[in-house]
Each structure stands twice: as C-alpha cells, then as structure tokens.
C-alpha cells in the first residue's frame, strides 16, 4: 500500500488501542494490541507519518533509530541486588532502566501527556547482540525487564532485504504477534505531501515531468545507486536556502542528495533551464502586470517541458505572495487577540500596576505559552511561526509604552501599531490579488484552452497558500476556469502530452 493508506491504518490502530469503554477498560485488551511493523524502502517518510499521527491524535511521540543503540543502552546496565530466598541471602543480577523506556517517561513529564507512540526505526538491522532484545520487545513489549508504559503504542519500522544487506528475518513466532504493513513509494501521494509542505517548485515541476525519477534503487559494481523521497525533500530544503542566500547549485551538489548519476545529471540540467526560464520570460515582470508581448511568441512555440516549467514559475511567484498575505493575516489575527486581552486587563487593572506593565506581562505570558506548546509538541510549525511574529510585533509596540501613560493613552499607542499591521495585511492581500490577475492575463493569452491552464488552475485550487487566499478573496476568473475546466479532469490529456514529448526527446528533436 502507499504511505497515505499506511498512515490511515496506523492512526486507526492507535485510536483503537487507546480507546476505553465506560468503565475505563481498554476496548482491545493490551495482550491483543499487536505492535505495528511498518516495512518499506528507505527514505519513504516513515518517521514523518509518525509525527503527523501523534500530532493529530493529540499524543506524544518518542522515536529512535535502534541501530544507534548498544545492548546496554537498550536493555540497561546490570547490577547486583541482594535478596533472601528460602532463608538464604542470594546475589541477583538485575538491570537499570533502559534508556529508551526512560525517554518515554521523560517525554510524559515534558509534555504532560500519558499516552503516546514509541517508534523504533530500522528494527531489523540491529547487531547480533541486540537482536534477541528486539524480538523480546515486539513479542512482550518490554526492554530487558522494563515494560513499555501503559497507554503507549508500539510502532516499529524496517527495510526489506533488497534495500539493506544487514537486515534480519523475523521468525514466525514474532510475525504472529505483530501487524505487518508493507508500503511502496507512490509519487501521487508524495506530491500531496510536497504541496502541503511547500517544497521547492523546481523539484515538484521536475517530478511532474519525470515521474520515473521519483524513486530508484539499483545496484552497480561501484555500490548502490538510489534516489529517495527523503533525498528530494532534503534537496528542496537546500535549494530554498540557496535561493535566499544566493549560493551556487551545481551537479556535484545535487549528486550529494540524488545518489543516482543519471537522475542527478538530468535534474541539474533542468535546474539550469528552470533558472534561465525565470529570467528569459521575466516572470516577476509578468506578475507585476508589465507588458509581456516580447515573450508571448516564445511561450506559444515552446516545448511542453518549457511551458510547464513556465507555469510552475508563475505559480511559485504567486505562492510567494499568497504565503506573505497568509503569514501577515495570521500574525494580525494573533495580535488582535492580544489587543482584546489588553483592553480587558486595563478594565480590571489593580492599584500599583501601570498600563505598560500590564501589556508587557501579557506579552510575556504569550511568549511563555508559545514556548510551552512548542516543547509539548502541541502546535504546528506554521502556527508557532505566526505566534512568534505576533510576539515580536507586540514587543515592539510595548517598547513605546511609558509608565506615565494612563490606560486610554496606552491602549491608543498599541492600537496605532496594530492599525499599521492591518494596513500591511491589506497591502499584502492587494499585491497577491493583483499578481493573480496579471498571471491570468498571461495565461489567457498564451494557453487559454491548453493543459497548461488546467495545471495552473488545479494547482491554485490545491496549494495550501493559494487555496486559503482564494477562500478569503474572490477571483472571478479562477471560478470561471474552475467550472469550465472541471478540475482534475484533464489528467489523461496531460499524461498523453508528456508521452509525446518524451518520444520526441528520445528521437533527438528536443534540446532537453
């Protein structure tokens, strides 16, 4: 199955294992709560879905790669304890608590959550000395003599033998005590993840054109050649940082992430062209509403790869603006909540506490809550960023308050800062809206009824920032094309066009 279906299966199992009846007894007795064994190729996203499941279920997560552990850290160190058996004193070997089990208790203390997932990765790649411990862990839910705490679900993951020569086979006894889920890489599922996590548009555009390069694992005389989902995501993160810092990106660097020479070479060539299209077509000028007649003829006669890359660049420029509007909006909303709280506090202000002190105390409380929520894993990175931006704005407004101000003066001073933020939000929305209209101007002239327009409108509907923007800000042309093109209905034509371009490329009729 694909990793999206696997996530659903695991999340359902977690909810079922943690559910209780009206007496507080588990719906599924602990002895029947089989650990989940997730088997799939490396770099497919097994750890990431654990983080998502834990967050969505409101429980904690402790994750370990077991190959990093020795038997002592997993089981604990031996020590001698004296006991009396049948009237005789005996020396008995016992073990200290496993580092892994201790981490579970530490996580419960840090987060205040007494339920969670204990995730052990690469469980079938352990050393000879640790293998019996892992079998005991799956069969008996213990490390050494330390049981996994109640309320914690065990999920383990491993790689099939074709991907790792050091893997160990599980015996029938162990397999009969686990729920095994086998997963395979699936580009369409990964594309949903890539879109939601805003991966670099060059990566997503390239894989739209070269789906066969998404996941490859081959063996060569010089060793394994591979490209994984993890490699694409890590490369995307570097490309985004390189763009901000103006760092060079070449085939050698790309090959450090895409460990398959043919794929690395092909993507490096695409990367050069992708950047060239950005300049040649004047994408920023198009989005700013400047005349584009000079590049229109080239777009009309371009190969399909080039046209799709141009659409990707337009979407990337739009999403930058949509993202800025969304971030500004989220920070403004968070500031508004603090402004309301400040007004309430001013009405109940105690003697001896001035308005400036009240406001700074509220700001400190806001930052403390954010720090606590981040430590406990109760907040998404996007929400945490919005709250952090709001906290910075609030601090800047608070710095302008004077203890000699009366409540009305203090509130007006803060409200002045907030009104400036509201204007920034309105400006960000206007910039994004104007760019969207400019992009439609170009698309209507260049590709009014082509698959390029299908992709353009589809991506606007599916992108997290564009979809949120369009939900709040009406765009008549988006609605018109959505109805006319019937979103998602042009996929067969798109694939056929890709096949035709691939055939022409193989015959040497295209430069790339």
pLDDT in tens, 446-482: 998 888 999 999 999 999 999 999 999 999 999 998 8
Look at residue 425 and tell me whether its pLDDT is greater than 90.
Answer: yes
Q: Average per-residue pLDDT in the chain? A: 85
pLDDT average, residue stretch 98-114: 85
Mean pLDDT of 424-432: 96
What pLDDT sits at residue 113? 86
Of 143, 220, 140, the closest CA to residue 173 belongs to: 140
> Is residue 225's pLDDT more than 80?
yes
* Confidence category of residue 389, pLDDT binned at 50, 70, 90: very high
Instruction: Please report the sign of the dihedral spanned by the C-alpha atoms of residue 450, residue 456, residue 462, residue 468.
Output: negative
Query: Helix or strand or coil: residue 490?
Result: coil
Give the whole-angstrom CA distance, residue 258 versus residue 219: 15
pLDDT of residue 508: 46
Calpha distance 404→65 (Å, rounded): 58
State the CB neighbour count (10 A cutoff) for residue 415.
Answer: 15
* φ, ψ at 259 (rounded to 5°): -85, 40
Residue 3: per-residue pLDDT = 83
Q: How far is CA 404 from the centre of its chain?
A: 47
CA pair distance 113, 105, nearest whole angstrom = 10
CA 372 – CA 88 distance, rounded (Å): 52
Average pLDDT over residues 336-343: 91
Give tens-digit pLDDT for 241-258.
999 999 999 999 999 999
pLDDT attached to residue 512: 37
Residue 511 has pLDDT above 60, yes or no: no
Do residues 281 and 429 make contact, with C-beta atoms less than 8 angstroms apart? Answer: no
What pLDDT is attached to residue 286? 95
Measured between alpha carbons, how far is 161 from 150 in angstroms, rounded to an integer?
33
Lowest mean pLDDT among 139-153, 304-318, 357-371, 417-431: 139-153
């Amino acid at each position: 199955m694909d990793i999206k279906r696997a996530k659903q299966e695991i999340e359902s199992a977690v909810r079922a294992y943690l559910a209780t009846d009206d007496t507080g007894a588990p719906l599924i007795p602990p002895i029947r709560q089989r650990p989940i064994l997730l088997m799939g190729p490396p770099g497919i996203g097994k750890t990431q879905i654990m983080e998502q499941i834990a967050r969505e279920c409101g429980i904690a997560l402790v994750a370990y790669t077991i190959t990093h552990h020795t038997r002592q850290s997993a089981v604990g160190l031996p020590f001698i304890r004296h006991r009396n058996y049948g009237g005789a004193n005996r020396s008995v070997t016992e073990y200290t608590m496993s580092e892994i089990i201790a981490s579970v208790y530490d996580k419960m203390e840090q987060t205040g959550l007494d339920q969670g997932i204990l995730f052990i990765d690469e469980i079938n790649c352990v050393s000879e000395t640790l293998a019996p411990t892992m079998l005991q862990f799956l069969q008996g839910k213990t490390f050494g003599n330390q049981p996994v705490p109640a309320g914690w679900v065990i999920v383990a993951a491993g790689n099939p033998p074709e991907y790792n020569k050091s893997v160990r086979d599980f015996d029938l006894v162990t397999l009969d005590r686990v729920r095994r889920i086998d997963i395979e890489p699936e580009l369409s599922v990964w594309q949903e993840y890539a879109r939601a996590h805003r991966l670099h548009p060059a990566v997503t555009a390239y894989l739209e054109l070269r789906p066969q390069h998404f996941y490859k694992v081959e063996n060569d005389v010089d060793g394994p050649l591979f490209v994984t989902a993890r490699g694409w995501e890590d490369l995307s993160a570097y490309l985004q940082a390189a763009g901000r810092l103006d760092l060079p990106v070449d085939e050698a660097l790309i090959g450090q992430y895409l460990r398959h020479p043919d794929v690395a070479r092909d993507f490096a060539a695409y990367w050069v062209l992708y950047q060239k299209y950005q300049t040649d077509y004047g994408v920023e000028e198009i989005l700013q509403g400047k005349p584009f007649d000079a590049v229109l003829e080239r777009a009309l006669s371009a190969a399909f790869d080039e046209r799709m890359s141009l659409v990707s660049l337009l979407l990337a420029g739009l999403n930058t603006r949509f993202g800025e509007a969304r971030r500004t909006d989220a920070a403004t909303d968070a500031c508004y909540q603090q402004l309301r709280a400040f007004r309430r506090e001013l009405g109940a202000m105690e003697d001896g506490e001035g308005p400036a002190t009240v406001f700074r105390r509220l700001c400190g409380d806001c930052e403390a809550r954010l720090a606590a929520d981040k430590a406990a894993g109760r907040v998404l990175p996007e929400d945490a960023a919005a709250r952090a931006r709001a906290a910075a704005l609030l601090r800047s407004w608070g710095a302008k308050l004077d203890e000699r101000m009366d409540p009305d003066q203090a509130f007006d001073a803060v409200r002045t800062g907030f009104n400036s933020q509201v204007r920034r939000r309105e400006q960000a929305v206007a910039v994004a809206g104007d760019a969207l209209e400019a992009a439609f101007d170009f698309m209507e002239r260049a590709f009014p009824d082509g698959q390029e327009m299908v992709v353009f409108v589809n991506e606007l509907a599916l992108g997290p920032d564009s979809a949120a923007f369009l939900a709040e800000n009406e765009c008549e042309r988006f609605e018109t094309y959505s109805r006319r093109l019937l979103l998602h209905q042009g996929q067969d034509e798109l694939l056929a066009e890709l096949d035709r371009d691939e055939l022409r490329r193989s015959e040497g009729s295209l430069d790339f």
